[in-house]
Structure formats: structure tokens, C-alpha cells
Chains A and B, each alone.
Chain A
Amino acid sequence: MDILKLDDEELKRRLAFFELTDEDFRRLTALKPFAERWTNEITEGLYELIMGQPESRAFFPDQATLARVKKLQNSYFLGLFSGSYDLNYVRDRLRVGTAHERIGMPPKLYLGAYRRYLALIHARLQDHFKGNDAEASKALATIRKIIFFDMAFAIDTYIAAYLETMTRHQAAIRELSTPVIKVHDRILLLPIVGTVDTQRAHQIMETVLVQIVEQQAKVMILDIAGVPVVDTKVADHILKTTAAVQLLGAQTILTGISASVARTVVQLGVEITRMHTRSKLSEGIELALSIVGKKITSKKESERGDA
């Protein structure tokens, strides 16, 4: 949960924003007997709602699971009135959020159940403070604060978990998007497929440069047949990569240039005459071979293997 950057300072800021004061803490501690008295009933009431709907019921397939989560629910409820609201408390709350996220419980069910939770508490508070409405509503206000405080953590956990998944996916996509292929001794090929944005352009440049040095390649062929639109930005990225490759002491060949790309590039006034360009990849490979001093020739009749 590093993403939440939780420390004592952050905890203080959060407590202040939810207006949780020492008075609230005292009130919560004083309500401990109340909590112990009603926790089972409140948990039952909560699961009545959850088990009443097919969507939420699906998360609790058997009696054993149900018994276990009910027990957890009780200890969660008592935790609200434990009197200590430090980083340990928060860590415990984050675990709750993570658990919900892991089983795939959507936030709507989580928040919906919380609504019932508050209603159940409210009803019993009025009983508890028989007649003393002022005290009852003060107690409710305090409980609402701590519950919202908790909920914020749960929602943050959800978001953090989603972000983590997204980052992982992005990394996977990035890796897939720059596959460098060794065509021949000292000749590398990078087929670029899909849209090239700034981030990807950086990624491409980095991969190209690192691979050239690692494999001591003399030529890098960039094939842009799979790039749908080549605008000034994309052209600029390609030119920069070419310049960087030249600084290393290698060369680039740009292939896969279709008629429409050639037209737009010239119309946009992009100066790409500095680099080698070919329309077809095969021509690019031939040029690359000639740069490293080789060429493709036909076999003589006598050397042919197919008999």
C-alpha cells in the first residue's frame, strides 16, 4: 500500500479532515459496551441484506465461508470502538479493503452494505440512549465519522489495486510493442505496429539504442508498415531516433513507407532525406546487408538443394 503514502502525518491530515477529535475517540470508547451487546445482531442484519440479493450472495458460496466472514465482521465492528486509531488501525482497515478487492466485490455492494450497517446501528443507538435524542445523534455523528474514515481507506485500496493492475498491463504492452529481431549478423529489425505516442516513442528509442549497443549492430531497420498514421510528431520521433543511432555509430533504415505516408511526409515538410528509406522491408534488408558488406545472390543450378 505504498501508493497511499501512509505515515503519521498523512494519518493526522485524514483524521483532521474527517473532523475526528479526541472527543469522538472518547465517545467511541464509551460505546464499547453498546457495541459488544449488539455486534452479533448487527452482523446478522447486514448479512440478511447481502444474502438477500443474488449478486452479493454469490460471494459467499458455503456456510463455512459465511461463518468466517461473520466472525471477521464482528471483530471489525468492535474495532471501531477500540479506542486506538493509529497506523495499526489503518493497516487493519486496508486489509479489509484489499480482501474485498481480491474477491472481486464491486464498490457498489461494499458501499450499499455500509448503508445498511449505519441504519442498523442507528436503530439500536436510539434504543440505547432511550429518550436522550441529543446524545443519540451525537453518538451517531461520531460513528458516521469513523465509518466514513474507514470507507475512504477501502475506496483508496480499490483504486490503488486497479492502478497496480493497469501499470502491470501497461508494462506488458510496452514490452510487446518493441520486439527487436536479429535479421542477420549486425542487422536488427524493429517492426512498429500501431499508434506511436510520445511515451511509446521514448520506449522505442531506448530499446533501439540499448539493443544496438548490446548486439553491436551496425544497422537498425525500422519498419513502419504497421503504423496507421504518420504525422509530424511520429516523423519527428523517428528522426530523433535516427540521430541518436548515428551518435552511437550505427545507421537506421526506414522501411514500409506506403504511397500515402510518403505523400503526407513531404506535404508536412518533414526533412527525412537524411536517413535511408525504402518502401519494402525486403529492399531495406538488402540495403542493410550491403552496408555490412554482404549481399544476397542466387544459388548456381548445381548448388540447389531441392532435388
Chain B
Amino acid sequence: MPSGPIPILKLGSTLLATIHIDLHDTVVDSFQNDVLEEIERTGSDGLIIDISALETVDIYVARMLANTGKMAKLMGAETVIVGMRPAVAATLVRMGYLMEGINTALSLEEGLEFHTRRSKMSDGMGDA
């Protein structure tokens, strides 16, 4: 079970982590651990990180989020980051950090849709 301050919920085969506090170094580490352990424990194939509560995201946090996505992918879970605020997106782009290779969605709903669509697609191709 997650030991850090950020709750990780299971919705079907998707995990949902809502970041509601500022991410300090210590929180970041435990968050990454929690997410990966939960993926391992539940065998989820999707991860949604909701950052709509974050008013600022610096390069360090952005990189951590992207890295978490990469790590999850290694374990077979696709990550979608949802709810990024306009100011956060503008700042990251201005600083030249484009979070390449990371899926994003406007809202939690969209993020869930993304996973549903993806699992449908992989179901269809699963036999091939």
C-alpha cells in the first residue's frame, strides 16, 4: 500500500494518482516508489497522474513526472498526465522542456477515455 502522502487509487486496470501537494524531494522519491510498487502489486496497465492542483511545476518536478512515466512504461503501464494548467504549460515550454514522449489529456475524464480506447485497441490486436 502507498506509504507516501499522495494517494494512489485503482480504477479497473488503471491507477490514479492525484497530486494535491507541492512536490519536495522527499515526497517525489516516495511517490515514485509508491506508484511503481502499486503497478507491480496490481498489475495495472495504465497510470493517470492528475496535476490539476499544481499551480507551479518546475523543471525538476516535470522531469520526475516524465521519468515516472518512463519507468511505468518499462513495467507495462502507459502514463497520461492530466489537468496541466495553462500557466504551467507556458512556463515549461518557455524553459524549453517539452516532456517529449509523454501522453497528456485535458481532464481526468479524457485520461480515462485514453486508457479505455487503448485497452480496446490492444484487445483487438491481442491475438496477433
Give residues in A with beta carbon < 8 Å to B: 205-206, 209-210, 212-213, 216-218, 240-241, 243-250
Q: How far is the CA of A210 from the CA of B84 in the complex (A)?
A: 11
Judge whether B92 and A248 touch: CB under 8 Å.
no
Given contacts A213-B86, A245-B89, A249-B105, 5 further A-B contacts (CB under 8 A): A243-B93, A246-B104, A247-B81, A249-B82, A249-B84
Instruction: Report B94-125 CB contacts with A as 1/0, cut-off 8 Å.
Output: 10001100011111001100000000000000
Q: Which chain A residues border B87 with CB–CB below 8 Å?
A: 209
Q: A205 near B85 (CB under 8 angstroms)?
A: no
**Residues of B near any A CB (own CB < 8 A):** 80-82, 84-90, 92-94, 98-99, 103-107, 110-111
Q: Which residues of A contact B105 (CB under 8 A)?
A: 249
Given contacts A247-B99, A247-B104, A249-B105, contact A206 B94 (CB under 8 A): no
Q: Complex Cα distance A56/B92, Å?
A: 57
Give the CA-CA distance A216 to B111 in the complex, in Å: 13
Q: Using Cβ atoms and an 8 Å threshold, which residues of chain B touch A206? A: 86, 90
Given contacts A243-B98, A247-B99, contact A209 B107 (CB under 8 A): no
- Nearest B-chain residue to A246, judged by Cβ: B104
Q: Please measure, in the bound complex, the distance between the C-alpha atom of A247 and the C-alpha atom of B89, giving whole angstroms.
A: 6
> Is B94 a contact of A212 with CB atoms below 8 Å?
no
* Chain A residues within an 8 Å CB radius of B99: 247
* CB contact between A248 and one of B80, B94, B106 (< 8 Å): that residue: B106
Q: Are B90 and A205 in contact (CB under 8 A)?
A: yes
Does B86 lie within 8 Å of A249, measured CB to CB?
no
Cα of A210 to Cα of B85 in the assembled complex, Å:
8
Contacts A206-B86, A209-B89, A213-B85 given; does A249 touch B110 at CB 8 Å:
yes
Q: Supply 28 A–B pairs (Cβ within 8 Å), ascending by A.
A: A205-B90, A205-B93, A206-B86, A206-B90, A209-B86, A209-B87, A209-B90, A210-B86, A213-B85, A213-B86, A217-B106, A218-B106, A240-B93, A244-B89, A244-B92, A246-B98, A247-B84, A247-B89, A247-B92, A247-B93, A247-B98, A247-B104, A248-B84, A249-B80, A249-B82, A249-B105, A249-B110, A249-B111
By a CB distance below 8 angstroms, the chain B residues around A216 are 106-107
Specify the chain B residue showing the minimal Cβ separation from A209. B86
A209 to B85, CA, bound (A): 8
Give the residues in chain B near A209, CB-CB below 8 Å: 86-87, 89-90
Check if B104 sits within 8 Å of A212, measured CB to CB: no
Bound complex: CA of A240 vs CA of B85, how far in Å? 16
Q: In the complex, how many angstroms separate the beta carbon of A209 from the nearest chain B beta carbon?
A: 3
In the complex the two chains form, what is the Cα distance from A225 to B92 in whole Å? 28
- Which residue in chain A gives the minimum CB-CB distance to B98? A243
Distance of A248 Cα from B82 Cα, bound (Å): 7
How close is A272's CB to chain B, nearest CB, in angstroms? Answer: 14
- Give the one of B81, B86, B87, B103 with max A CB within 10 A: B86
Most chain A CB within 10 A, of B89, B99, B105, is at B89
CB distance from B119 to the nearest CB of A (A): 18
B51 to chain A, nearest CB (A): 10
Contact check, A212 vs B86: say whether CB atoms are below 8 A apart.
Answer: yes
Most B-side CB within 10 Å, residue of A216, A241, A244, A249: A249
Q: Which residue of B lies closest to A215 (CB)?
A: B106
Q: Report, nearest first, the 10 A-B pairs whose CB atoms are least far apart.
A: A209-B86, A249-B105, A249-B104, A244-B89, A247-B89, A244-B93, A249-B106, A243-B98, A210-B86, A243-B93
